[in-house]
Amino acid sequence: MAALRLWGGRSGTVMAAAGRRLGARGKHDYDLLVIGGGSGGLACSKEAAQYGRKVAVLDYVNPSPKGTRWGLGGTCVNVGCIPKKLMHHGALLGTAINDAKKYGWDIPLPVNHDWSVMAKAIQDHVKSLNWGHRVQLQDKKVEYLNLKGVFVDQHTIQGESSKGEKTLLTAENIVLATGGRPTYPSNVPGAEFCISSDDIFWLRDSPGKTLVIGASYVGLECAGFLTGFGLDTSVMVRSIPLRGFDQQMARLVTDYMTSYGTRIFWKCTPIKIEKLNNGKLQVVWKNLASNIEERESFDTVMWAAGRTPETQGLCLDKAEVRINPETRKVVVGDGEETSARHIYAIGDIAEGRPELTPPAIKAGKLLAHRLFGKSTQLMDYDNVATTVFTPLEYGCVGLTEEEAVRRHGEDKIEIYHAHYKPLEYTVAEREAAQCYIKIVCLREGDQTILGLHFIGPNAGEVVQGFALGMKCNATYSQLASTVGIHPTCAEEVNKLNITKRSGLDATVTSC
């Protein structure tokens, strides 16, 4: 049995820790203890330390079912935003090489992609970020503890090292920032043969012919860059793509991916996965439209059918922290507070919060200011912009068309839209049928903008600026009076003048 000890070398039991905690001065080991070393947790801890408080971060990564491990920084740094964007960019470079010939570049075709070279470069960059986060914590005087934490009570955490050594820590305030992990199905035999997004970015060799099961943004982004690297890639969709996003835009994204070379199996659900003697994986699935069983073999199968919050192993019941039994997320209030006093939750683990890195960072910083500064500012989760980094990017901020109709009624909203062709596509003779913009507005008065949706190159860069306008309650009349930068894709947003209600052709045909 592993030894149980108190932090700082003091020996004792959980009861001894509780007695010390309730002593005459009521002191704790830390003013703030953050469980989770992802973007939100790191931001919160570093901000709190600037108030001169004693702060620690517990971070421990359980290996994926396939055994993949990584360092400090959470999902975004290691198995999310950073490696995803770099692989997406790498795939776009391949497309640019094909375009370059039309612009006079003498590049012998076809070109070949070396997965191992790309993977090593990206993995080395991620490792440099892991080290950078540790240095930043040290510089800010935040104690980093590579321990897996579980609650003993509302102020006491038991940390366990990779060697099984256990440590008791007490804190006046505790922040939960453990994020989520990919969901593996329990009802599909052979699921253990598959990888997830926790593994794809750490593969040393090409995954080869790949099936991605699930049409979340994670699934479509990964399928997109795999196709871009010239790999035979398929996506299996049970119901709808990009659930929670505007569905007209989602369909345009998948339409482009089909034209890009990604196969999409619509209305299909996996039944079982078998490992063949040649090492390939044979997937058996049911086509829900025809009720027919189908099968095909792949080199790699990747699950991308959702994420599960990391709450199960925290012993939250001992701290009386309430979770939603359906989502397993922590129930929080406007100030990120949980049902237990002095315990907070930020990021993907918190119920009703967007599963995005920037809101978690902002929420963590604001929480530190409220706890240790004189601030009362709460995180504003309205109009948070995001982008899906599929081969043709989709950026959005605000309400989807479906949500606007549900809230306000179809007669009270106006939708301006346009199909356009980026100038760069003309010489390259690229298809632009899915390049599309729409803004959702209130129909009356100056027509307050409720949502903005953009599909096209560099969508994230385009939407970021318009997100500021949304925060300032921008109206359609203000948008229309703004002069665009020519020639850009972003200027097409300022030029929107045709409504869906009019029934007119919304194709942009000239300058």
Q: Is the Cβ–Cβ distance between 271 and 188 less than 8 Å?
A: yes
Q: Which segments within 9-155 are labelled E, that is strand?
A: 30-35, 55-58, 142-145, 148-153
- For 199, phi and psi rounded to 5 degrees? -115, -35
- Cα 444 to chain center, whole Å? 35
Helix (H, G, I), strand (E, B) or coil at 284: strand
**Burial status of residue 103 (CB atoms within 10 A of its CB: 0-12, 13-18, 19 or more):** exposed
Tell me which of 28, 369, 408, 486 is the catalytic residue: 486
CB atoms within 10 A of CB 407: 11
| Displacement of CA 369 from its chain's centroid (Å) | 25
395: Cβ contacts below 8 Å, ≥ 6 apart? 385, 386, 387, 388, 453, 454, 455, 459, 460, 462, 463, 464
Measured CA to CA, the distance from residue 141 to residue 49 in angstroms comes to 7
Question: Is 486 annotated in the active site?
Answer: yes
HSE, side-chain direction, 13 A CA sphere, residue 325:
1
List the structure tokens of 12. Answer: 């004792």
Half-sphere exposure of 121 (CA within 13 A, CB side): 8
The one-letter code for the residue type at 437 is I
378 phi/psi in degrees, rounded to 5: -100, 160
Sheet containing 263-266, strands listed edge to edge, beginning at the edge strand earlier in sequence:
195-196, 300-303, 210-213, 233-237, 263-266
Residues tagged active-site: 486
